[in-house]
Amino acid sequence: VVPENNQQQKQQHINTQNLSLNKLQQFYDNPQSLPLKNDSKYQKYSYEQNPSFNKSQSFPDTVQALPLKNDSKYDSKNSDEQETSNKTKTYSTGFYICIGIALFIMATAALAINIYELVVLTTSTTTAMPGWSNTGSMHDIRAYYQASVLQSGNVLVTCRFSGSALLNSAELYDLSTGMWTSTGNMSSMRQHHQASVLANGKVLVSGGVNRFGFYINSAELYDPATGVWTSTGNMNNIRAYHHASVLQNGKVLITGGSGSVLYLNNAELYDPSTGMWTSTGNMNSMRCYHQVSVLANGNVLATGGSNGAYLNSAELYDPSTGVWTSTGNMNSMRGYHQVSVLANGKVLVSGGYDGSVYLDSAELYNPTTGMWTSTGNMTSIRGNHQSSILQNGNVLVSGGYDGVSGSLNSAELYNPTTGMWTTTFAMNSTRAWHTGSLLTNGKLLVAGGISNSGYSGNAELYQP
């Protein structure tokens, strides 16, 4: 207890105590204002880390160090007080509580500094840089094959042609390791086939060209749970260069291609519940090398292709009626092009071949009006490229063939908001007739294809 005749010293103690607490509270409320480690005012808080540490330097010079219990200025100068309390010096309980609070604030503020610096450091070192990076190579070199993103997030590639041999092999890409592993072989060797991921997670492979150069109508199913292929019902028509689309009702629509006659206009449906195929309405035009898109309303848009001459026509399939109806014509004839259904429901068509030259033009289909409008041209002419919608809604076009320099390694991005294309980082390898698969982590996997030095088995990832 401070004697009554020493009220001035008591008030001085209280003022000192309050000033220190107020300044510490300011730093506690805004710890980011504390100096960081590279600041000249920064002091280590231990004797071991900073031998020059002393009580008056333990905080930045804007903060007054708290006097400790044994400081001489807390000793009463009153001789009577020291004589009656020469074994213990007692202070008010409230003062000790304030000391405890002050120490707690000091520790919390120091902890906040370390957490803040840790967060900043971690953020700066884990931010992924955009661009391409190599990942594991496939066991086999592949072109004219199919890639399917499974429900697990892994990627299945089926069959391949290497320029000298046709195989029935299949392999899986594990996005967590970046490595490929072999899985069960298919029943038939095939190329220029189609692969579709069904609602039950299995993969349906249909048609193609076998090792003897014959068109086939066989189909088979891959079960990711077992890694085994099993045969399913045969298509009604032999075909390759066709297109397969998974409808909203779960059935698979097969359209066109080449088969018993050079160009086909027939279509058929696969029912996963029965494993059987049934014919549906014929397209208005025979189409090979065409593209097909499932629209937001469930209808199917078929565009371009060739029936001996390259086409600019387009038509719509209504799954509820099984009937095809013509819709607006594209502005350019094109086959070997790519299509992407944008988030706004419109369909972007890019590049391709018109029978004379490869194209850099692009156009948009509006399902509401059935009309096509031109949009910005790509920066490069290309066909047999890949077009992939990224998670941010932009469209990435990679590689392809330009008929002049050969296979390309260039890539570009389409912004649906501006309708413009901008170049992005080039791939590490030239490639056309490759595959592009958007992974669940947002990266894009491209693999295989034909480079300017031959058939390829390498793969790379694009980080947006």
**pLDDT tens for each residue of 407-446:** 999 999 999 999 999 999 999 999 999 999 999 999 999 9
- For residues 349-361, average pLDDT: 99
| 3-state class (DSSP) for residue 166 | strand
Segment 1-27, tens digit of pLDDT = 444 445 555 555 455 555 444 544 554
Nearest to 398 by CA among 416, 417, 378: 378
Is the pLDDT higher at 432 or at 113? 432
| β-strand partners of 149 | 155
- Measured on CA atoms in the order 181, 156, 175, 249, is the torsion positive or negative? negative
In one letter, which amino acid is 242?
A: H
Segment 117-165, tens digit of pLDDT = 444 344 444 567 899 999 999 999 999 999 999 999 999 999 877 767 8
Residues of 302-318 as b/e, b for ≥16 C-beta within 10 angstroms?
Answer: bbbbbbeebbbbbbbbe
Residue 165 has a pLDDT of 81
pLDDT at 321 over 70: yes
pLDDT band at 91 (very low <50, low <70, confident <90, very high): very low
Q: Scanning the structure block, which residue is given the tokens 């565009």? A: 303
Segment 383-393, tens digit of pLDDT = 999 999 999 99
pLDDT at 60 over 50: no
DSSP 414: E
DSSP 13: H
Largest Cα–Cα separation, the chain: 120
pLDDT at 51 over 70: no
Range in 154-163, 164-173, 341-350, 367-376 the model is least confident about: 154-163
| Average pLDDT along the chain | 83
- For residues 75-100, average pLDDT: 48
- In terms of Cβ atoms closer than 10 Å to its own Cβ (0-12, 13-18, 19+), residue 116 is middle
Residue 90 has a pLDDT of 45
Task: Give the separation between CA 324 and CA 281, rounded to whole angstroms.
Answer: 7
- In terms of Cβ atoms closer than 10 Å to its own Cβ (0-12, 13-18, 19+), residue 66 is buried
pTM: 0.74
Beta-strand ranges (E) seen in 104-178 are 131-135, 146-149, 155-161, 166-174
pLDDT band at 269 (very low <50, low <70, confident <90, very high): very high
Residue 301 has a pLDDT of 99
Task: Give the separation between CA 394 and CA 396, rounded to whole angstroms.
Answer: 7
Q: To 10 degrees, the CA torsion angle through 356, 357, 360, 362? A: 10
Segment 270-305, tens digit of pLDDT = 999 999 999 999 999 999 999 999 999 999 999 999
In one letter, which amino acid is 243?
A: H
Residue 3 has a pLDDT of 43
- For residues 334-338, average pLDDT: 99
Nearest to 372 by CA among 331, 418, 313, 326: 331
pLDDT at 180 over 90: yes
Alpha carbon distance, N-terminus to C-terminus of the chain: 69
pLDDT band at 98 (very low <50, low <70, confident <90, very high): low
